[in-house]
Amino acid sequence: MKQSAVPVATILLALVILWYVFAVILNAPFQRDLDRRANETPGTVEFIGKTLSQPKPTLPAPHQVAVNFFENTFLRPITSTRSLVYNAWVTLSSTLLGFAFGTALGIIIAVGIVHVATLDRSLMPWIIASQTIPILAVAPMIIVVLAAIGVTGLIPKAMISTYLSFFPVTVGMVKGLRSPELMHLDLMHTYNASASQTFWKLRVPASVPFLFTSMKVAVAASLVGAIVGELPTGAVAGIGAKLLAGAYYSQSIDIWSALVAGSVVAALLVMVVGIAGRIVDRAMGGRPA
Amino acid sequence: MTGTSPAVVSASKLGLTFQTNDGPVQALSNVDLTIGKGEFVSFIGPSGCGKTTLLRVIADLEKPTSGTISVNGMTPEQAREKRAYGYVFQAAALFPWRTIERNVALPLEIIGLSRAEQAERIKRTMELVNLSGFEKKYPWQLSGGMQQRASIARALAFDADLLLMDEPFGALDEIVRDHLNEQLLELWERTNKTICFVTHSIPEAVYLSTRIVVMSPRPGRVTDIIESTLPKKRPLDIRETPEFLAIAARVRDGLRAGHSYD
Amino acid sequence: MTGTSPAVVSASKLGLTFQTNDGPVQALSNVDLTIGKGEFVSFIGPSGCGKTTLLRVIADLEKPTSGTISVNGMTPEQAREKRAYGYVFQAAALFPWRTIERNVALPLEIIGLSRAEQAERIKRTMELVNLSGFEKKYPWQLSGGMQQRASIARALAFDADLLLMDEPFGALDEIVRDHLNEQLLELWERTNKTICFVTHSIPEAVYLSTRIVVMSPRPGRVTDIIESTLPKKRPLDIRETPEFLAIAARVRDGLRAGHSYD
Amino acid sequence: ADKVTLQLKWVTQAQFAGYYVAKAKGFYEAEGLDVDIKPGGPDIAPEQVIAGGGADVIVDWMGGALAAREKGVPLVNIAQPFKKAGMELVCPKDGPIKTEADFKGHTLGVWFFGNEYPFYAWMNKLGLKTDGGPDGVTVLKQSFDVQPLIQKQADCISVMTYNEYWQLIDAGYKPEQLTVFNYSAMGNDLLEDGLYASEDKLKDPAFEDKMVRFVRASMKGWKYAIDNNDEAAGIVMDNGGQDENHQKRMMSEIAKLIDNADGKLDPATYERTAKALLDQKIITKAPTGAYTTAITDKAIK
Amino acid sequence: MNWLKPSWQAVLAIVLCVAGLALGAIAAPKVDPLAQPAGTLIYPYAATNWLIFGALLLAALISMARMPSIVEAVVLFIGAHLVAWLLIGGISGFEGLARAPYFLLLTAAWLLGWRCVAVLSGLRPMASWARSALRLIIPAIFGAWILIIWEAVTRGAGIPFILLPPPSAIGARIASSLPVLGADVRQTIFKAVIFGYVVGSSAGFLVAIAADRVPFLRRGLLPIGNMVSALPIIGVAPIMVMWFGFDWPSKAAVVIIMTFFPMLVNTVAGLVASGHMERDLMRTYASGYWPTLLKLRLPAAAPFIFNALKINSTLALIGAIVAEFFGTPVVGMGFRISTEVGRMNIDMVWAEIAVAALAGSVFYGVVALIERAVTFWHPSVRGG
Ligand SMILES: Nc1ncnc2c1ncn2[C@@H]1O[C@H](COP(=O)(O)OP(=O)(O)OP(=O)(O)O)[C@@H](O)[C@H]1O
Ligand SMILES: Nc1ncnc2c1ncn2[C@@H]1O[C@H](COP(=O)(O)OP(=O)(O)OP(=O)(O)O)[C@@H](O)[C@H]1O
Ligand SMILES: Cc1ncc(C[n+]2csc(CCO)c2C)c(N)n1
Ligand SMILES: [Mg+2]
Ligand SMILES: [Mg+2]
């Protein structure tokens, strides 16, 4: 953890510099338009300064985003609907719920596919097909239908997260549950171990590396799902709502600070899953690389 | 075979052909064999002659492609389902995420033994293979020979009436080997188990067995079956007796005959 | 050591302690050893005494925690980077996605040999270990002994001046083993390679070696170093000579002394 | 009180101030109604919500409502608060387009999701193809912002008089630097925000009465909002609107579209809208019974 | 009783069928709009009522007799599908009027279909053509029942067309809109998806390698790579449109961002999957970083990398379609979906979704086939 501080900082610094360069380049044409319409001819330094301080820039400069992010994170009471902490929390809660459901569902389906020939043959193709349905297209319909039967609030959003996150888990776990060495399977066979014993004592431990890798992808997908799910619910609160509100009024700085908030949440979630994975690996006598 | 004791394994015209990417490989052909209760049968033969394959067929890990085989009068599958045998693989096949102790406990968990009984058996077998003190280590923290001993302990803890052992002592030094040979004989005598034992060591085969099955390669056939005339009680120095050496010579001849060198 | 030929391996006060979840394990302690060019040194000792660990230290696969070691006058790391040695592991370590032939070719690809030369070396070593005809098979389609032979072929094809072999013939029957022993001696004589050889077989150690290092366990120490007085040319039946048996007896005694049984 | 659920077509903004004001000022309560206002979004189709039973009455554009009616959701216009359309096409004066004659060969930003009908009707009238060929115009599906113009990806873009137009002004364009093609001014407008309910439900006198009260209170809300511009904007802000200044400006622009706040549908505009939709094959046969004046007649005496 | 071989599906089907009989008419009658004395009622299922009950009971009963599995499967197949056919045929003209027995019969027929699939899954034919035929037939029957239930429920319960159209309407729409669908597929899949998939997956792969190669990057790049994972499409898509224009390159950029992370994470995990002894072996050859990577670590990582490729094959499609909700030319699957929703042409929306599902499945299937060929040695492929 400690050793990563310097590299992360270095790379972030490089990114920020790159970001500034792009901000100037991307904001310049519009600034030139503005100046032309206003009949002004600023010097280079002044011009660059202006490109970095537009109220609705094409690409906001890092400091603009940082200021906005800081204000919305620390200067507002966390109960305020404008607080990023509040909005991140709203999104996070449906992310976590959806992730929990998605992981559970993904594992259950994988277990079914690995153990039941009928499911292996018939279900997998349809699961794949289901994943190609663009959620943004069906999310509103799902939410309308659910609202009609009285289900509102967290659950519909979490369902979209679930839908997006179960698939990586299924794919990874089908592979992982089938990854034990043949000799280990033979060993269990000689004990006439039941399917559930083989499952718990062999397949599950063998699938752990696949599980945690899949869960990292799933938790990220789940967050995307939660954000997408916020849109058709009227976008009242959450990171998705902030994004949308920013988009209506081209408030690019708001959009970017919401994006940054989303990314930070994502990085934290992925890190937590990674740490959980490492703890489990350690508990399983994992050999240091 | 004596015919008096009931057959534990009985194979006739057994054959097995593997289909591989570049054509079929005949691993067993026309194997006829009967093993009675309480026998100690060693299998010896050049590398790749089908010893492991034969053991795997008995254990229902491989299906023969011709001929018939029965174990305890049942199909191998039924026998396996009745947990009729314990198997020691040629490689240790320990689970890397379990400590040695938990590896030995694996079959005991599966048959549903109580914690206390598990602990008792683990302790006993770990002592038998001289691994006490390594209970809490993970497999990769053990030397090759120690891993092999752990896998023997696991099979012995399982305590089935038929033991299938595929070169269990291959990675052990002479002294440990002698010790384990003695222990195994003692166990066999005491419990009247039936043991099928693959080895590459002629003295080991002669020392342990009531019968020695000599096999020859491609396709794996049984070329000779040698009944041992040694008494049941066998001190280690029986290995210097002329009787012992005579049997060993006969095995060596059988082995050489089936070999492609010289 | 004679001191005339330059030292290939020279260790002094070598020690290695593994840190494990339940405390440190001292695998090597105070090992002093010099191996000259062209020597054939066998390591023998009870299971878990540190033979593999010592070989791994020489090969720079493990860092000693005390003492010093040099290989060809360099650190083990430099020697490894100069590709000073070939290593045969205790397990076969074949890559499952490569055929046997491509497994043997692996080191040759890495040192960048031409296709033609690769083919030539593969053919030669595959014949040497008697695996011709199995070039196109995958590892899991081979018996245990065949896999071990493939891994020997791989090391021989690599053709380094120092060979580190960890129980290379453990899974082979006596006849193949005798054959490979002869072949190895012949190769050693012809090429003046230096060979470090771990084995559990006393006759094998005596038959092959110019020196036999006897080790004792926990912590792994060198308890005896036995110079062989046998001539360089050794027909197989040298194993019946009294001289041979005397050396073997001395090794056995050394081994027994370090053992925890009897 | 009787429960009524209203589904809006878009997010909370002054475009719907009348309803929020009516709720905040207790006009609904006074009529014995308990109104639940559900904001919409870019991918909420109010027609689907009402079909699924999620709303009693919706705010919709007539194009969408008539299309849904043909697909088996019998929507009926019960009131038409917006008399004029707010949509227009704007082009910067320093660009290539000054008049309708200049369109050929250029890229125009258009909103879809049911908002594209007036545009296509107009192009139809001008005889311009919309397939991107050299003889026609290239159509760009515009997202909900004015970026295509700022990025110069389009030569003209769609705006609402009350919303995106002001974003252009905020972005530094001066009104005199923009050429505006207003659909209402050109007589190409199709009816925008109206209130629609289900024909089946309206057969129930109790429901009809509820709607009468709802429309009466809503129009009272609109009138109040027009008269108290800044307070109305404040109420919108309280309900989740963004950017107070923007809402105030929007409110005053909306007031120009509301006209006299009687909510009555002008049959002539209705006929023109229906015909334009028919011409473009958005609907296949002339709709019947798609509106009723009964509600507004009772509501506004 | 030796000739009897009960299955719970068939028994339950019979129970449901009897319950249906007890509850009366399958669907409510309606007023005939054409009949002369106005107000005359016409009744549904007048001719087929007994045929439906009869076929169902017969198929269920026969299936429980002891006979070759293949015959049983055929009987079940015919029974289940005949009943479904008659039910759906009979409801036309009476949409929304179905009563409880309609749904009970549908469930019973579905149970027979299920039993049929179960019987077929148990078959182990010798001929290889029969095996491949089964491999196709089983998912096909499963899928057919998804469609049958969908059709029967939407029509039986009279679900509004603009909420969920029946599959038959979607099918008709697909047939009549092939040119439009073709153009959309070309725009979305052949341009944005394939390009974005290849570039995004490669980028994730290369960054993983870079992070592996340079420890400094590993510590710095991976946390930042994790941040990319959550850049939500809806946040990023408008920005990409801003940067790369409204045509397909901006969609490809979104796909790149979406596919990057799964590949990054999986490659990183895969690179540590090789065994210790194998890595030691390569060390003894003083094998450099790249040979070790190529000859040992990448092959060992292949199962993980293919996982990412599979997940990405569906993600890429979602990404491209959703990105088209923002600013596009007037062609593309996402464009069509979002506009046709606005026009209440929900059948067209589902037609696009069906095409997307088909394309995604083919895409996934191709990746899975390549995986089998490349990782033939892995226990999961060798059979575990
Ligand atoms: N899964 C398999 N697929 C194809 N061929 C196989 C397979 N398993 C074994 N064989 C082949 O069958 C033959 C017999 O193998 P087996 O493992 O039984 O030999 P073995 O007698 O145990 O040899 P060893 O003493 O070397 O272990 C060999 O030629 C081997 O190549
Ligand atoms: N990676 C490791 N971590 C911890 N302890 C280890 C590790 N490797 C080996 N050991 C311990 O070091 C000691 C020596 O092991 P080593 O493998 O060198 O024995 P060996 O002489 O090769 O035995 P064998 O003949 O059984 O192969 C053993 O007690 C073993 O448990
Ligand atoms: C996707 C999308 N469609 C339409 C509009 C235009 N618009 C702005 S306000 C409003 C409400 C109409 O009642 C509408 C339609 C948009 N901005 N984004
Ligand atoms: Mg074998
Ligand atoms: Mg060792």
Return d(Cα B224, Cα B45) in angstroms, integer: 10
DSSP conformation class of C197: E
Is the CB of D160 within 6 Å of ligand 3?
yes
Return d(Cα E328, Cα E254) in angstroms, integer: 13
When mean pLDDT is compared over A147-151, D104-108, D130-134, the highest value belongs to: D104-108
Percent pLDDT > 70 in chain D is 99
Q: Could you tell me the distance, in angstroms and rounded to a whole number, from the CA of residue E278 to the centre of ligand 4?
A: 22
Provide mean pLDDT across the span D11-17: 87
Q: Is the pLDDT of residue A136 over 80?
A: no
Return d(Cα D214, Cα D141) in angstroms, integer: 36
User: Across the interface, which of B49, B173, B252 has its CB nearest the CB of C47?
Assistant: B173
DSSP conformation class of D161: T
Closest among D61, D93, D91 to D77, alpha carbons compared: D61
**What residues does C28 pair with on adjacent strands?**
C16, C220
Percent pLDDT > 90 in chain D is 7
pTM reported for the whole predicted model: 0.86
Taking residue C129's Cβ as centre, other Cβ atoms within 10 Å add up to 26
Is the CB of B48 within 6 Å of ligand 1?
yes
Q: What is the pLDDT of residues C174-221, one digit of tens each?
A: 888 888 888 888 888 888 889 999 998 888 899 899 999 998 877 888
Is residue E312 within 8 Å of residue E380, measured between CB atoms? no
What is chain D's mean pLDDT, rounded? 86
Percent pLDDT > 90 in chain E is 15
Say how many CA atoms lie within 13 Å of A255 toward its Cβ.
26
DSSP conformation class of C61: S
Q: Is the pLDDT of residue A4 over 80?
A: no
Q: Could you tell me the distance, in angstroms and rounded to a whole number, from the CA of residue B144 to the centre of ligand 5?
A: 5
Angle at B114 between CA B108 and CA B119, to 5 degrees: 70
When comparing pLDDT for A287 and E287, which is higher? E287
Taking residue C74's Cβ as centre, other Cβ atoms within 10 Å add up to 13
When comparing pLDDT for C232 and E83, which is higher? E83
Across the A:D interface, residue pairs with CB atoms under 8 Å apart total 83
Return d(Cα A162, Cα A97) in angstroms, integer: 8
CB-proximal residues (5 Å) to ion ligand 5: B 143-144; C 52, 90
Residues of E in contact with A3 (CB under 8 A): 219
User: Across the interface, which of E161, E328, E344 has its CB nearest the CB of D64?
Assistant: E344
Is residue D64 within 8 Å of residue D77, measured between CB atoms? no
Q: What is the pLDDT of residues A90-124, one digit of tens each?
A: 888 889 999 999 999 999 999 998 888 777 777 77
Cα dihedral value C78, C82, C83, C84, nearest 10: -70
Return the pLDDT at B43.
93
What is chain B's mean pLDDT, rounded? 87
Is residue B244 within 8 Å of residue B238, measured between CB atoms? yes
Contact C97 E291 (CB under 8 A): no
Length reported for chain C: 262
Return d(Cα A92, Cα A102) in angstroms, integer: 15
- Scan for tokens 């070169």, then name that residue: B167
Q: Is the four-CA dihedral A248, A252, A256, A257 of positive or negative sign?
A: negative
Is the CB of B103 within 6 Å of ligand 1?
no
Q: Could you tell me the distance, in angstroms and rounded to a whole number, from the CA of residue D160 to the centre of ligand 3?
A: 8
Q: What is the pLDDT of residues E96-107, one digit of tens each?
A: 788 888 888 889
As to burial, measured by CB atoms within 10 angstroms (0-12 exposed, 13-18 middle, 19+ buried), residue B228 is buried
- pLDDT-based confidence at E305, cuts 50/70/90? very high
Q: Is the pLDDT of residue D199 over 50?
A: yes
Kindly report which listed range (B121-135, D136-150, E362-376) carries the lowest average pLDDT score: D136-150
Return d(Cα D258, Cα D227) in angstroms, integer: 12
What is chain A's mean pLDDT, rounded? 83
User: Across the interface, which of A33, A56, A231 has its CB nearest the CB of D170?
Assistant: A56
Measured in angstroms, the CA of E367 and the nearest CA of chain C are apart by 19
In chain A, which residue's Cα lies nearest the Cα of E382?
Answer: A182
Q: Could you tell me the distance, in angstroms and rounded to a whole number, from the CA of residue B151 to the centre of ligand 5?
A: 16
Is the CB of D163 within 6 Å of ligand 3?
yes
Closest ligand to C-alpha of residue B143 is 2
Residues of A in contact with E231 (CB under 8 A): 259, 262-263, 266
Taking residue B15's Cβ as centre, other Cβ atoms within 10 Å add up to 18
- Phi, psi angle pair for C193, to nearest 5°: -70, 160
Q: Could you tell me the distance, in angstroms and rounded to a whole number, from the CA of residue C238 to the centre of ligand 1?
A: 33
Is residue C96 within 8 Å of residue E377, measured between CB atoms? yes
Return d(Cα E98, Cα E90) in angstroms, integer: 10
Length reported for chain B: 262
Closest among B74, B66, B71, B63 to B35, alpha carbons compared: B71
Q: Could you tell me the distance, in angstroms and rounded to a whole number, from the CA of residue C222 to the centre of ligand 2?
A: 15
Chain A partners (3+ C-beta pairs within 8 A): B, D, E
Return d(Cα B92, Cα B139) in angstroms, integer: 9
User: What does the block give as tokens for D247?
Assistant: 């809402």
Rounded to 10 deg, the angle between the E298-323 and E346-374 helix axes is: 170
Return the pLDDT at D237.
85
Q: What is the pLDDT of residues D34-87, one digit of tens each?
A: 998 888 877 678 888 888 788 899 999 888 888 888 888 889 999 898 888 888
Return d(Cα B210, Cα B36) in angstroms, integer: 11
Name the D residues in 169-228 with CB < 8 Å from any E CB. Answer: none
Q: Is the pLDDT of residue E326 over 80?
A: no
Alpha helix stretches (DSSP H) within B134-230: 144-158, 174-191, 202-208
Closest ligand to C-alpha of residue C175 is 1
Closest among B211, B194, B199 to B247, alpha carbons compared: B211
Provide mean pLDDT across the span E281-306: 89
User: What does the block give as tokens for E82?
Assistant: 């005949």
Interface test with C, best of B97, B175, B236 (most C CBs within 10 A): B175
Q: Is the pLDDT of residue E124 over 70?
A: yes
- Scan for tokens 């056919």, then name that residue: E85
Who contacts A104 (Cβ-Cβ below 8 Å, separation ≥6)?
Answer: none
As to burial, measured by CB atoms within 10 angstroms (0-12 exposed, 13-18 middle, 19+ buried), residue A12 is middle
What is chain E's mean pLDDT, rounded? 85
Measured in angstroms, the CA of A57 and the nearest CA of chain D are apart by 9
Q: What is the pLDDT of residues E218-228, one digit of tens each?
A: 777 777 777 77
Return d(Cα D270, Cα D290) in angstroms, integer: 10
Who contacts A246 (Cβ-Cβ below 8 Å, separation ≥6)?
Answer: A252, A253, A254, A255, A258
- In which element (H, E) is residue C202 found? helix C202-208
As to burial, measured by CB atoms within 10 angstroms (0-12 exposed, 13-18 middle, 19+ buried), residue C63 is exposed
Q: Is the four-CA dihedral E50, E53, E57, E58 of positive or negative sign?
A: positive
Return d(Cα E18, Cα E1) in angstroms, integer: 23
User: Across the interface, which of A234, A235, A249 has its CB nearest the CB of D167?
Assistant: A249
Q: What is the pLDDT of residues E48-76, one digit of tens each?
A: 888 888 888 888 888 888 888 888 888 88
Q: Is the pLDDT of residue B211 over 50?
A: yes
- pLDDT-based confidence at C43, cuts 50/70/90? very high
Return d(Cα C42, Cα C214) in angstroms, integer: 8
Contact E284 C93 (CB under 8 A): no
Length reported for chain D: 301
Report the DSSP pairing between strands B40-44 and B194-198.
Answer: parallel
Return d(Cα C146, Cα C230) in angstroms, integer: 31
Return d(Cα A153, Cα B61) in angstroms, integer: 54
Cα dihedral value C39, C43, C44, C50, nearest 10: 170
- Scan for tokens 């026309």, then name that residue: B30
**What residues does B213 pair with on adjacent strands?**
B43, B225
Provide mean pLDDT across the span A232-240: 68
Return the pLDDT at C3.
45
- pLDDT-based confidence at D104, cuts 50/70/90? confident
What is chain C's mean pLDDT, rounded? 87
- Chains B and A contact (Cβ–Cβ under 8 Å for 3 or more pairs): yes
Closest among C9, C160, C37, C175 to C88, alpha carbons compared: C160
Q: Could you tell me the distance, in angstroms and rounded to a whole number, from the CA of residue C52 to the centre of ligand 2?
A: 7
Task: Identify each DSSP E strand in D69-129 by its residue range.
Answer: 75-79, 87-92, 107-110
Closest among E305, E309, E346, E339 to E321, alpha carbons compared: E339
User: Across the interface, which of D43, D53, D151 has its CB nearest the CB of A58?
Assistant: D151
Provide mean pLDDT across the span C132-152: 90
Residues of C in contact with E291 (CB under 8 A): 109-110
Q: What is the pLDDT of residues E350-360, one digit of tens each?
A: 899 888 888 88
Kindly report which listed range (A253-267, B60-74, B185-199, D209-223) carries the lowest average pLDDT score: A253-267
Say how many CA atoms lie within 13 Å of B258 toward its Cβ.
26
Contact A189 B81 (CB under 8 A): no
In chain C, which residue's Cα lies nearest the Cα of B257?
Answer: C175
Return the pLDDT at C2.
44
Closest among B257, B148, B252, B256 to B205, alpha carbons compared: B252
- Scan for tokens 């040497």, then name that residue: C128
Q: Which residue has the CA at smallest separation from atom 19 of ligand 1? A: B48
Return d(Cα E63, Cα C208) in angstroms, integer: 73
Write the single-letter amino acid at B224: D
Q: What is the pLDDT of residues B10-57, one digit of tens each?
A: 998 999 998 877 788 888 988 999 998 889 999 998 888 889 999 999
Taking residue E373's Cβ as centre, other Cβ atoms within 10 Å add up to 9
In chain B, which residue's Cα lies nearest the Cα of C199?
Answer: B173
- pLDDT-based confidence at B1, cuts 50/70/90? very low
Q: Is the pLDDT of residue A247 over 50?
A: yes
- Scan for tokens 């039924």, then name that residue: B78
Closest among D54, C197, D216 to E162, alpha carbons compared: D54
Return d(Cα B38, Cα B5) in angstroms, integer: 8
Say how many CA atoms lie within 13 Å of D259 toward its Cβ.
12
Whether a cis peptide bond, with omega within 30° of 0, leads into B219 is: yes
**What residues does B20 pair with on adjacent strands?**
B23
In chain E, which residue's Cα lies nearest the Cα of D149?
Answer: E242
Q: What is the pLDDT of residues E224-266, one digit of tens each?
A: 777 776 677 767 787 888 788 888 898 999 999 889 888 998 8
